[in-house]
A and B are shown apart, each in its own frame.
Chain A
Amino acid sequence: MVGLFGALWGVVETTLGTYLNVIFPAFTNTFFKGVILGGIGVAVALTGRFFVRKRGSVILFGIITMLLKTLSPGGSRIGPMVAIFVQSALMELVLTLVGDPRRWAFVLGGALAVGWNFPHKFIMMRVMYGRNMVQVYQKLVQDGSQMLGLEPSMALLILGILLGVRLAVGGIAGWSAWALGGAVAERLGQRSQAVTE
């Protein structure tokens, strides 16, 4: 099951990621790409956790997805792999602390995981290019002001909206994962009931 849900997340990353790379090239704004890929990936991982009720399973999904991305043609890129690993670690942390899976834990885990995209940019820019925080901050504000149509002087509002949207999308992904898990379990239950009859 760990392999299967890891593969499913891998399918999202490799296929959807390729399409999104074409639509939003890497050197343009990565906001939409990160939010879409992060949201769907988190939903898949948390749906997997709904069925694999073992501690550590989400981080294993993340490791499998990361390795699949490495093995895929042209996939050995450090940024997305670090993001996948940290997202899975954050979801795992929340679910481990909570214990039994609950809907609000899925929402919180999803929100933190997609919200990670925000500091990820700061950290990877620092690691990859050696840019300091102020320069990344300025770039984020410029991109955000163009996208939202706000003045760059409203920097805090822009950054707040960018972070808030990520957290909201992650929360919705977590909520959807819980609902999706329930719907699938119901469907599979109905199927096995029909077979028994």
Chain B
Amino acid sequence: MKRFSAWGYLAFTLWGLGMALAVKGWRLGALAVVELAFGLAWSREGLGPLRRWRFWVLLAVAVALGPWLVRRSSLTGADVGLSWLGLSVGLEMAGRALTLSLAFSLGLSSLSLSDLVAVFDRLQLRGLGFALGVAMNLLSSLQEMARVTFETIRLRGGLRRPVVAMRLFLITLVSNTLRYGDQVVHAASVRAFEPQRGRRMRVSLQRADLWLVAALAVSSVACWLFFA
């Protein structure tokens, strides 16, 4: 399903964010259609937010609030009434939220950990890529450690004194994190590994990325020239 390299997906995210902030009115709907088409074709996992009911509730609230936020052009002339201007404001709010969220999730959810590390390598931020790799690999261990620590304190009746329990929990958590850190450093040093040296991960620009960037540039110019 992945058609582009990390650069292509990052370019799409930046383009989507820029367009969502720049365009207004019905063009937001057109942008949402473009993003949906991109997602269906090349980034299905990025459509995840659309499967969550909370996301739709947020959009519905934005649309529903519109007529009450803008009351001046009320059709009924009453203080609180339905106004078309308000409804259009609500729709625009919902459209902007939808396009921003999609731009963000379509691009970034297609990037794997190794893609991000490679991007950092390319940007001369090797230490950050290594730190991200360590963080990602230790995330589940730290979660498990936090769970075990909490359960131990709970089973020993520590929750009867919440402040002391919290202090014990945090001290154990931070101590064990530092211990993990020592282990990581030790493991790296016995393998003669240095984050600033060693094999660089590469993420190469593909022909498809160039076509994508060209298409995005053409659509931006067309939008600016013909629909401004």
Contacts and interface: CB of A to CB of B under 8 A. Distances in A.
Interface of A: 1-8, 10-11, 14-15, 21, 25-27, 43, 47, 51, 60, 63-64, 67-68, 70-71, 73-74, 76-78, 127-131, 135, 176, 180-181, 183-184, 187-188
Given A4-B181, A183-B167, 6 more contacts: A11-B146, A15-B143, A67-B116, A128-B97, A184-B175, A187-B171
Contacts of A10: 135, 139
A161 to B, nearest CB: 24
B170 A180 contact: yes
Contacts of B113: 71
A127 B96 CA distance: 8
B69 A135 contact: yes
Interface stretch (B51-59, B72-80, B196-204): B51-59
B184 interface: yes
B164 interface: no
A184 B178 contact: yes
Interface of B: 21, 46, 48-49, 52, 54, 57-58, 61-62, 69, 89, 92-94, 96-97, 100-101, 104-105, 108-109, 111, 113, 116, 127-128, 130-136, 138-139, 142-143, 146, 167, 170-171, 173-175, 177-178, 180-181, 184
A64 B135 CA distance: 8
Contacts of A128: 93, 96-97, 100
Contact of A27 (B57, B108, B128): B57
Contacts of A64: 128, 131-132, 135
What's the dominant secondary structure at chain A's contact region? helix
A77 B58 CA distance: 13
Nearest to B113: A71
Contacts of B143: 11, 15
Given A76-B108, A131-B93, A4 B61 contact: no
A14 B147 CA distance: 13
8 contacts: A3-B130, A7-B139, A21-B54, A51-B178, A70-B111, A130-B93, A184-B171, A188-B175
B207 to A, nearest CB: 27
Given A2-B131, A71-B113, A128-B100, A11 B48 contact: no
A130 B96 contact: yes
A26 B97 contact: no
Contacts of A77: 49, 101, 104-105
A183 B138 CA distance: 24
A76 B105 CA distance: 5
B12 to A, nearest CB: 13
A142 to B, nearest CB: 12
A3 B133 contact: yes
